[in-house]
Structure 1
Amino acid sequence: MLRALAVLLLCLPTAAFADTQAPATPRPHTAGPTVRSFIPPLRMPRLGFARGLRVYLPPDYAGSAKRYPVIYMFDGQNLFDDATSYVGEWGVDEAMDAIAREDGFGAIVVGIDHGDELRINELIPYFNVRFLPNAGGAFIEDVVTVIKPFVDANYRTLPDRDNTAIIGSSLGGLSADYSIHRYPLVFGKAGVFSPSYWVSDTPFANARRTPLPAGARVYLYIGGREGEESVPLVEKMAQVLQAQPGGADTVTMHVVAEAEHNETAWRVEFPRAVRWLFRLPPAVAGQ
């Protein structure tokens, strides 16, 4: 308990409450022209609340009849628009536009808004007495049974598991890890950024007990300045997953020694993760 509390204190400034506070001065909107927000928000019956969706479409979407892979992401307010972010956006739309230009790869990105002060509860899918109710399981079930069917019905998607990824950071990283293990036939790829493994030991037990299906890909990322136990915990998960059949080729871990627990680091890491998850060539140096 003391160890978990210590890690918690290190992570709370951005992991738990960073997204719930409005910036001191308004910032200009920076979302690109192919990003759309859904109003009113989509009802999530198991969670018990409605959550907004922010959808990025590839540059050639409007002029083509193609179907596209889909990347689901948590903390939608932080992904595309500096004006709605806490301390800066991830630049997801700019990153995806660049990948489309450089590699001809397009994907739809669905950002799911967090619930402000409810975020820490709705993104914990395991039992943790300090943050009851732990509603993460209900949240992810709604993603699978409500949000994904809505997206597949309204957009030209490739709905199979090999073309469906889920990415998140901090508690969102924990939820991305949970998602691919709980619903391995829905999500075939997971980007697990700075995961809050301090919440519970259950993710490790689940990973050992139920190996991922063949072909599932997991990208683990952590910054070296995110807390004393952050890197060892991610290394522990990497060891578990890479020891499974095929895991050496389908699970990777990237540690950035000087990176901290913030949107700036995740913005830099995002395109690298997308390229690896979808088997694209690494970016050319200088691009």
Structure 2
Amino acid sequence: MKRISLLFLAFLLFFISCKVKTTEEVKEIKSKVNSEKTSTKAANVTILEKTFVIDGLNDIPHKIWLYLPPNYNSSKEKYDVIYMHDAQNLFDNVTSFVGEWEIDETLNNLYKKTGKSFIVVGVENGGEKRIEEYTPWENVKYGGGKGKIYVDFLVNELKPYIDENYRTKLTSENTAIIGSSLGGLISFYGGLKYPEVFGKIGALSTSFWFSDKVITFAEENGNQQKTRLYLLVGDKEGNSMVPDTENMAELLIDLGFPSQNLKTKVHPDGKHTESFWKAEFLEVITFLFNLENNERTNN
């Protein structure tokens, strides 16, 4: 009996040691994969030396990614600005979770074809704190609810800093806020709460399900006459994503939101993925900044 117990104990120790080793090996493999990724960030994308710890939100130093137009250093013109979230996923394959949006490649190609340029300001999310940063209201299951602090930071601290240090067009007509999923929710919230700051909203695959309070918020803030809003959702995103988006669009129209300023797109093959948002980004900004009409006017 003692011999059997000793053998069992030896096997158990061996199993545990193998499990630990396997876990360490997995971490090593993940680290190796990340280190072997090739950076896809364009030369005109940088990360600011200055980081921002957002007072009242958390103690995470948020990095800011900055895309400047290809002609920024050779011109004196001022530019439209797009504020975006989840900056880790916007420009570089190395930092992206499951693929990047290729914002820099898309805008560089747009400039080559049309001469149209933008500045893009991307704010890194706080990792495990992302939910609380991008949600204006609490959810019983998922928590959150510090989104107002985050949006106030964008309005009162980050935008003034960017406007002071870079050649930006200052008005809401020239400023957009764009994000996906919870980033879509905080964009929707930020744009409607501060229409004098963000005149253009890109709410992609928006998590309207997170809180019923979004309905009351829309009823109180949705009658915007100058704001342009692009609502995107994929038919393969599951749950209530499509009806939630369509219902929100109907509510806004009922509230008096101009139909010509609102576009709702349900993509039949769209999934809740970075690749979906990457593929749709150009169409989003084309609507928000009226690029097709501007191009025809310039021609």
Q: Partner of 1:230 in structure 2? A: 241
**CA shift in 2, pair 1:242/1:98, >3 Å:** farther
Q: Partner of 1:175 in structure 2? A: 186
Q: Cα offset for 1:137?
A: 1.1
Task: Select which of 127, 148, 153 maps to 1:137.
Answer: 148
**CA shift in 2, pair 1:224/1:87, >3 Å:** same
**Is the 1:44–1:146 Cα contact (8 Å) retained in structure 2?**
no
Q: Cα offset for 1:24?
A: 7.0
Gaps of at least 5 residues in structure 2 are 1-29, 294-299
Higher mean C-alpha displacement, 104-113 vs 33-42: 33-42
**Mapping of 1:16-165 within 5 angstroms?**
25-26=33-34, 27-49=37-59, 50-165=61-176
**Is the 1:47–1:142 Cα contact (8 Å) retained in structure 2?**
no
Aligned length: 262
**Mapping of 1:160-239 within 5 angstroms?**
160-239=171-250
CA–CA distance in structure 2, aligned partners of residues 208 and 24 of structure 1: 50
CA–CA distance in structure 1, aligned partners of residues 242 and 167 of structure 2: 38
Letter in 1 for 2:95: T
Q: Partner of 2:6 in structure 1? A: none
Give the helix-richer structure, 1 or 2: 2
Q: Cα offset for 1:101?
A: 1.9
Per-residue CA deviation, residues 31-69 of structure 1 (Å, 9 max, x unaligned), is 101001023422322323321100000111110000101
CA–CA distance in structure 1, aligned partners of residues 277 and 144 of structure 2: 28
Letter in 2 for 1:91: E
CA–CA distance in structure 1, aligned partners of residues 144 and 216 of structure 2: 22
Q: Partner of 1:14 in structure 2? A: none
CA–CA distance in structure 2, aligned partners of residues 82 and 193 of structure 1: 21
Higher mean C-alpha displacement, 123-132 vs 189-198: 123-132
Q: Cα offset for 1:281?
A: 1.4
TM-score (norm 1): 0.87
Q: Cα offset for 1:246?
A: 5.1
CA–CA distance in structure 2, aligned partners of residues 156 and 46 of structure 1: 30
CA–CA distance in structure 2, aligned partners of residues 69 and 271 of structure 1: 15
- 3-state SS of the aligned residue for 2:141? helix
**Is the 2:222–2:257 Cα contact (8 Å) retained in structure 1?**
no
**Mapping of 1:258-273 within 5 angstroms?**
258-273=269-284
- 3-state SS of the aligned residue for 1:203? helix
**CA shift in 2, pair 1:133/1:209, >3 Å:** closer
Letter in 2 for 1:71: I
**CA shift in 2, pair 1:133/1:263, >3 Å:** closer
TM-score (norm 2): 0.84
**CA shift in 2, pair 1:116/1:250, >3 Å:** same
Per-residue CA deviation, residues 181-201 of structure 1 (Å, 9 max, x unaligned), is 111111100000000111112
CA–CA distance in structure 1, aligned partners of residues 217 and 257 of structure 2: 18
User: Which structure would you say has the larger Rg?
Assistant: 2
Q: Partner of 2:296 in structure 1? A: none
- 3-state SS of the aligned residue for 1:177? helix
Q: Cα offset for 1:170?
A: 0.3
* Percent of matched pairs sharing the same residue: 37
CA–CA distance in structure 1, aligned partners of residues 122 and 246 of structure 2: 27
